[in-house]
A = this chain, B = another copy of it.
């Protein structure tokens, strides 16, 4: 099943992909109104009701829809950094485990919704990624059990403002306990960067349109990830190149942070330049100066495309 969320006549509705369009499954008369979160949290019984309701459901043309993020307000959007085998040669030092940051739910937008930028923010580039949607939460999830916690997969464009990233980096003398006398302090020369702005600004999280449930994606590491700027292929990568796999990330992350139903894990940027791009990388696609649309496609899950507007 492919499931998503749309806005229509002031209501948030659940849609399911069917031949010819999107079957509408919820309306405001339901109590509580059906939502993708309710489908996730309801498990098999609610999902069976969804299947049963499909037969009589109204089908809308895809072009007519106003898409929301499939889960409009997830508890957290956890993003894995530098998680591609092509990163390795560029890393002088860094962890052997997944390093992560958080995008706020306020940064998410749906398919076709405009990315809104300001000239003074400098460059903003796309980062095409597979995203995991958590079904059943938990902490300390065993590696062997991790895949059973996945509801499905969606597409995310982890927009990044590298000029902001540079601005929000400190070179400073961090306070540490003094070596040999932990009751006193010493200063250690350190670099630290803070991602809320360069990763979390409004509209920096296009996501969707569909969540493909796990039955449709038998192997999340056998997917192609494509990034297209104004129809020109920039990136053509594959999820087999992810350094830390889905189960690795779920097990590692959940040993620190409790995962909750509806949480999103963005698996890291696909970045292999397509053969026809002339070596152009996603970092060359400056949406601020070049405009959109910018699309991320994962065949089997969907195509996420967004125009660019200047604020």
B176 adjacent to A278 (CB under 8 Å): no
Determine the distance from Cα of A82 to Cα of B172 in the docked complex, in whole angstroms. Answer: 10
A92 adjacent to B194 (CB under 8 Å): no
Q: Per-residue 0/1 for A9-47: is the Cβ within 8 Å of any B Cβ (1 yes, 0 no)?
A: 000000000000000000000000000000000000000
Q: Per-residue 0/1 for A128-142: is the Cβ within 8 Å of any B Cβ (1 yes, 0 no)?
A: 000000000001000
Q: Does A85 sit within 8 A of B, measured CB to CB? A: no
**Closest Cβ neighbor of A93 among chain B residues:** B171
B257 adjacent to A104 (CB under 8 Å): yes
Within 8 A of B (CB), among A192-221: 192-197, 200-202
Determine the distance from Cα of A256 to Cα of B104 in the docked complex, in whole angstroms. Answer: 12
The verdict on A187 contacting B81 (CB below 8 Å), with A123-B177, A196-B100, A196-B102 known, is no
Determine the distance from Cα of A132 to Cα of B139 in the docked complex, in whole angstroms. Answer: 29
Q: Does A174 sit within 8 A of B, measured CB to CB? A: yes
The verdict on A200 contacting B257 (CB below 8 Å), with A281-B185, A284-B177 known, is yes
* B-chain residues with CB within 8 Å of residue A191 when the two chains form the complex: 169, 171, 191-193
A192 adjacent to B165 (CB under 8 Å): yes
B170 adjacent to A82 (CB under 8 Å): yes
Q: Does A308 sit within 8 A of B, measured CB to CB? A: no
Q: How many residues of A contact B (CB 8 A)?
A: 69
A75 adjacent to B105 (CB under 8 Å): yes
B87 adjacent to A172 (CB under 8 Å): yes
Q: Does A63 sit within 8 A of B, measured CB to CB? A: no
A168 adjacent to B99 (CB under 8 Å): yes
Determine the distance from Cα of A139 to Cα of B203 in the docked complex, in whole angstroms. Answer: 12
Give me the interface of A with B, judged by CB distance under 8 Å: 73, 75-76, 78-79, 81-82, 87, 90-95, 97, 99-107, 123, 139, 162, 165-177, 182-185, 187, 190-197, 200-202, 256-260, 271, 278-281, 283-284, 286
Given contacts A82-B172, A194-B195, 11 further A-B contacts (CB under 8 A): A75-B105, A90-B172, A90-B174, A90-B175, A91-B170, A97-B167, A101-B102, A101-B195, A162-B176, A169-B192, A200-B256
Q: List 12 A-B contacts (CB under 8 A).
A: A76-B105, A78-B196, A82-B172, A90-B172, A93-B170, A94-B171, A95-B170, A99-B167, A102-B196, A166-B190, A183-B284, A191-B191
